[in-house]
Amino acid sequence: MLRALFPLSLKADDGGRLRHVQRAALFSASCVIVPRAISRFERMWVPRTDKKGIEAARMSLVQESPSSTPGLFIEPGASDQGGFLNCWIWDPEDLPAAARNGGLLVPETFARQRARRMSRLVACLAGFEGQLWGDSGLVATRWWRGEPSEREWDEFVSGSEVTSGISDDGSVMATRRPQITSPVWRRDISLSDFGRGALETAVSPVQLLVVVGLVLSLPLGYLSGEALKVTSYVNGGTARLAALQVDAGDIADARRQAIDNRAAIESLAQSGNSFELVNVLTEIGMAIAPNRMTIEHLAYNKNAIELRFLANADVSLPALISKLESGTYLRTVSAKQNNEGRIVLRGEIDPLEDST
């Protein structure tokens, strides 16, 4: 319903001033596009992709960010099952001056028309972005300052296949670099694509009154039951937001902490052995020794593990694979170094036989 009542127009920086690149409606609120050039894309696995999973992912990304107050956008999910969330993160200091007004921000990639089962090379507001799309949506991207060469495109595709597991997602893997395109800006972005507090952030009192007047002017019975509930909420929205604003920050912080703790516990519980993850990571660390690793991404369940890490020195991948496959906990191990020098390791967890 928010998608119909509160469509969002899109603005982009143009020489220090914000201009509309897509206007949804005359009285619509606006969100500002964050250029792909200053944002980083992360595809994070969570035990569930609904609001609880999004909150857990948000807290994890904020903790890992070098910025104390990073900008963050997580593509909405709606499932209590495990899966990947697409996340964009940026440093607010890198935003154009005109965009630092505390309004809603949306990543450029998310603001453009979506695709399915294809690869494309997009001319961005600045630079170029390679995109790989599967059945479930966007699965990998990379940004270049200048137009990428055939070799750079091939490295992007081959590296993405390892880091994102897109070979199982129905993606069309282009063997040659596609033609440059400029997808149109989306017209269906709304407040429902943002988290709690979006209504208060995006809609001014004047815009809220216009929407309330429009809703109340409709004939009785014109709106569905769900819409009537939204009408009632909007009618008293300003008073409710003011009453809740005082405690919202403390409540949100406590809830994020609880969700993060629960997600970690559930992830370990799914393995059937609370110490199995510790054993697997210990074995990987011993195989890499005497080198040390810094883990940047971890996806884990009772059947498999995917790990992306940075080693403090060169690691022989064939030797690493051999050590792990001859060890106790892993089998069918693969390892590859991506374009950024990170090692991406994937393997099946060997189920231990009960010794009792």
Task: Compute how many other C-beta atoms are within 10 angstroms of the C-beta atom of residue 286.
Answer: 11
- Bridge partners (DSSP) listed for residue 34: 107
The pLDDT assigned to 227 comes to: 47
In the chain, where the domains are located: 114-183, 276-349
- The SS3 of residue 78 is coil
Cα→Cα distances 320→261, 276, 298, 300, 304, Å = 32, 20, 18, 19, 17
Q: How confident is the model at residue 28 (pLDDT cuts 50, 70, 90)?
A: low
For residues 274 and 269, what is the distance between their CA atoms, to the nearest angstrom?
Answer: 6
The pLDDT value given to residue 312: 81
> Contact at 8 Å (CB) between 259 and 312?
no
> What's the pLDDT tens digit per position in 105-156?
999 999 999 998 889 999 999 999 999 998 878 989 999 999 999 999 988 8
CATH architecture under which domain 276-349 falls? 2-Layer Sandwich (3.30)
Which of 144, 153, 138, 105 has its CA nearest to residue 124?
A: 144
Model confidence band, residue 280 (pLDDT cutoffs 50, 70, 90): confident
- Give the full edge-to-edge strand order of the sheet including 118-123: 137-144, 128-134, 118-123, 180-181
Residue 170 pLDDT grade (very low, low, confident, very high; cuts 50, 70, 90): very low
Q: What is the mean pLDDT of residues 350-354?
A: 56
Task: Give the closest residue to 102 by CA, choosing from 238, 202, 246, 3.
Answer: 202
Name the residue among 274, 295, 262 with its Cα closest to residue 56: 262
d(CA 161, CA 183): 24
d(Cα 299, Cα 296) in Å, to the nearest integer? 11
pLDDT digits (tens, 9 = 90+) for 66-108: 888 899 999 987 677 888 899 999 999 999 887 887 678 999 9
